Amino acid sequence: MEIIVPIRQVPDVALNIRVNEGKVVEDGVSFVISSWDETAIEGALQMTEELGGEVTLLGIGPERVSEALRKGLAMGAHKAIHVLYEEGQTDSFGYAKIMAKVMEGRNYDLILTGKQAQDTDAGLTASMLAEFLDLPQVTNIIRFSDLAVDGMTLYRKGDHGTEVIGIKLPAVVTVNDSLNEPRLASMRGIMMAKKKPMETLSPSDLGMGAEELGLQGSMTEVLKFEKPESRKEGERFEGDETETVPMAIQKLVSEAKLAV
């Protein structure tokens, strides 16, 4: 099975993120693979370990994205495509268009990726890509079974329960982080990653002109980022539960107007 895993390199959201004049401050930020995409890499590796085939990573962005791709290769992915692209103001629509171009003429059975990227938290790109490629989509899967080269059964976390969906390949599938626990890179994996093929493309290699890139190729734009008013720690109650709980509830009712 040939699987393409689009991954996104994002600021590590576990650390402090700063904003200056409406923009995210990149200095001092450490960049990581978006955690849902790591889950997708792990899922793809498990599939190819069972059925054979290769996992190809796809990253779009500046030079630093090659580090994210190499980390994915160190986990065990077989090769990578890096679209070297410095255009900051690109929305999900624009990225999906670039990805659709990358897919042109390529051989793949499955496009597997995270349900959303950890920086935008938008969750739009994969489904848009599916539409542009006229492929079926299943988003937010928490399990897969009945793996075969032409299809599989997917378990999607829906609003009213787990939807069980049979799908014929090729298709676009996005993963929930409950799917698996991504593996860590081994020493050998880290070393071998340097020797794995990395194809570097520019948008012009893909036949894309300025009108399809950046803000011009996007449908939406971010005007500014802001730090939301952060929640402050409120009142703390320490001591015996038979005293602290009634005290807290009394305050909840009188101050916060709790009604049950």
Partner 1 sequence: MTERMWNNHEMRSSYDVVIIGGGAHGLATAYYLAKNHGITNIAVIEQKFIGYGGSGRNTAILRSNYRTEEGILFYDQSLKLYEDLAQELDYNLMFSQQGHFTLGHSTASMQALTTRAAYNRALGVNSTILDPPEIKKMLPEIDISNHPRYPIMGALYHPPGGIIRHDAVVWSYARGADQRGVHIHQLTEVQDILVENGEVRGVKTNRGTIHCKQVVSCVAGWSSEICKMVGIKLPLVTHPLQALVTTDYKPWLHHVVVSSTLHIYLSQTDRGELVCGNGIDHYPHYGMRSTLGFLESYAAHLLELFPILHNVTVQRQWAGLCDMTPDYSPIISMVDDVDGFYINCGWGTWGFKGSPASGWNTAQMVAERKTPDMIAAFRHDRYVKNRLVGEKAAASVGN
Partner 2 sequence: MSFQLNCPNCGKRAVSEFSFKCEYMERPEADADFKEWGDYIFLRENKKGTQTEWWFHRSGCQSWFLVERDTTNNTDHKSFWYKDLKQKK
Partner 3 sequence: MPKVLVVAETKNGELKKPTLELLSLAKSMNLQAESVLIGKEVSSQADLLAGYGSGKVYVADDAGLEIYNTSKYTTLVADAVGQSGATQVWLTSSETGRDLTPRVAARMGVGALSDVTELEIDGDNITATRPCMATKLVQQCRFTKDGLRVISIRAGAYEAEEASPQTADTVSLSIPEGDARVEVRDIQVEESNEIELNEASIVVSVGRGTGGTEGCDFVKPLAGEMGAAFGASRAVCDAGWMPHKHQVGQTGTVVSPDFYFAFGISGAIQHLAGMSGSKVIVAINKDAEAPIFKVADYGIVGDLFKAVPVFQEEVAKIKN
Residues of the shown chain interacting with partner 2 in the complex, contacts defined by CB under 8 A: 26-28, 30-31, 63-64, 67
Instruction: Pick the closest to residue 202 from 194, 193, 192, 212 (CA basis).
Output: 212
Task: Quote the tokens at residue 186.
Answer: 């081994």
Q: How far is CA 31 from CA 17, 85, 111, 161, in A?
A: 11, 16, 23, 35
Q: Which of 186, 202, 220, 244 binds partner 1 (CB under 8 A)?
A: 186
Write the CB contacts of 147 (distance below 8 Å, at least 6 apart in sequence).
1, 47, 50, 51
Pick from partner 2, partner 3, partner 1, none: which does 190 bind, CB < 5 to 8 A by kind?
partner 1
Least distance to partner 1, CB of residue 69, Å: 10
Phi-psi region of 52 (alpha: psi -120 to 50; beta: other; left: phi over 0): left
SS3 at position 146: strand
Identified binder of partner 1 from the candidate list 8, 71, 101, 196, rule CB under 8 A: 71
Contact call for residue 245 and partner 1 (CB under 8 A): no
The nearest distance, CB 183 to partner 3, in angstroms, is 16
**Could you tell me the smallest distance in angstroms from the CB atom of residue 199 to partner 3?**
26
Q: Which stretch binds partner 3 (CB under 8 A): 63-71, 79-87, 185-193, 239-247?
A: 239-247
9 or 180, CB closer to partner 2? 9
